[in-house]
């Protein structure tokens, strides 16, 4: 009995669904990264572009439960993470929900693929999770990501994200998407 359930779950359809979920959370991550880049630039107009990108990447990695990169070794990560949480707490553009639901999706996908429960972003889920009690729905999350792109990104940033959607590693999973698909 369990073998047939396992075969069904790990069929092409389930793998495709998990890849689609990964793709949506990556688009959300990219949207949040670009929004943070704009925010840091506006708060620190004299900061060079590379430093802004480095700080924004550190914040985004933390918010989406990813490990820090070697490229962030010269940053005071405790300070940067505290700034990221402050930004998330003060955020009024709806990106807070993208982060929280994105963490839930990433954790669910990881568990589905590995069978192990490693809760990424537990501290953020504990602080902000109760504000968004509903389990993530992929169609609603994709629509929310799409709307957030239009609400929080410049036209050049949106073009970059749409280019990623059409040409990036998840492109084949997005083609038929209600929110991100194309003909």
Q: Where are the domains of the chain?
A: 18-173
Q: What does the angle CA 134 – CA 125 – CA 132 come to, to the nearest 5 degrees?
A: 25
Provide the whole-model pTM: 0.89
Q: What is the pLDDT of residue 5?
A: 40
Answer whether 128's CB lies under 8 Å from 100's CB: yes
Cα distance between residue 108 and residue 12, in whole Å: 18
Cα distance between residue 32 and residue 130, in whole Å: 20
122-137 burial string, b = 16+ CB within 10 Å, else e?
A: eebbeebeeebeeebe
The residue-averaged pLDDT of 43-57 equals: 92
What is the enclosing helix (H) or strand (E) of 18? helix 12-43
- Give the range among 10-14, 48-52, 100-104, 139-143 with minimum mean pLDDT: 10-14
Cα distance between residue 132 and residue 126, in whole Å: 11
> In the numeric block, which tokens belong to residue 77?
């990560």
Residue 3 binned pLDDT confidence (cut-offs 50, 70, 90): very low
Q: What is the pLDDT of residue 2?
A: 38
**pLDDT digits over 103-114, tens only?**
999 999 988 888
Cα distance between residue 26 and residue 32, in whole Å: 10
- 22: number of Cβ within 10 Å: 18
**Average predicted confidence (pLDDT) for the chain:** 87
The residue-averaged pLDDT of 3-9 equals: 46
**pLDDT digits over 129-158, tens only?**
999 998 888 999 999 999 999 999 999 999
């Amino acid at each position: 009995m369990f073998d047939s359930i396992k075969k069904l779950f790990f069929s092409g359809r389930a793998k495709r669904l998990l890849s689609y979920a990964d793709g949506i959370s990556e688009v959300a991550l990219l949207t949040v990264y670009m929004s943070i880049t704009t925010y840091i630039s506006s708060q620190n107009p004299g900061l060079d572009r590379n430093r802004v990108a480095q700080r924004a990447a550190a914040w985004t990695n933390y918010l989406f439960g990813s490990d820090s990169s070697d490229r962030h070794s010269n940053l005071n990560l405790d300070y940067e993470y505290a700034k990221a949480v402050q930004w998330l707490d003060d955020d009024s553009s709806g990106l807070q929900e993208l982060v929280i639901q994105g963490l839930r999706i990433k954790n669910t996908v990881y568990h589905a693929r590995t069978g192990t429960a490693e809760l990424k972003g537990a501290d953020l889920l504990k602080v902000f999770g109760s504000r968004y009690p509903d389990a993530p729905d992929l169609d609603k999350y994709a629509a929310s990501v799409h709307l957030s792109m239009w609400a929080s990104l410049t036209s050049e940033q949106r073009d970059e994200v749409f280019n990623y959607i059409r040409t990036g590693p998840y492109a084949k999973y997005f083609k038929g998407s209600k929110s991100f698909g194309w003909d």
